[in-house]
Amino acid sequence: MAEYKNPLPISKKEAEKIFSIGSNDQICNALLAITLYDKDWRWAQMHCLHFLNHVDSDISGLAATCLGHIARIHHKLDQKLVINALKNRLSDIKISGRVQDALDDIEIFL
């Protein structure tokens, strides 16, 4: 069984580079890093919303999870925008559990 390790913090410049040319694993790592460490929650939210519609369910599912993390960590989020985006993904059975978890986190922490 693989051991989970938190990603290291990365700069916005490095994250942007990964988001444009990185592998799926690198994108996931960068999404989690900006969610956990970047103080600019709106910037992290923007990228999470973008990747919420990614064709790869690992990326889109993690993007949903990260939106919940932003609510938990920052106690801020563009609620209406994010909730609508998440609700639009509830029908995707590959990520619906993660989407519902994010919606629950938003309800709890905001």
The 10s digit of each residue's pLDDT in 17-57 is 999 999 999 999 999 999 999 999 999 999 999 999 999 99
For 67-90, the pLDDT digits (tens) are: 999 999 999 999 999 999 999 999
CA distances from 7 to 15, 66, 91, 94, 100 (A): 12, 13, 30, 24, 24
Which residues neighbour 90 within 8 Å (Cβ) at sequence distance 6 or greater? 96, 99, 100
Whether 50 contacts 62, CB under 8 Å: no
Q: Cα–Cα distance between 41 and 82 in angstroms, integer? A: 13
Q: What is the pLDDT of residue 3?
A: 60
Which sequence spans correspond to the domains of the chain? 12-109
Q: What pTM value is reported for the model?
A: 0.95
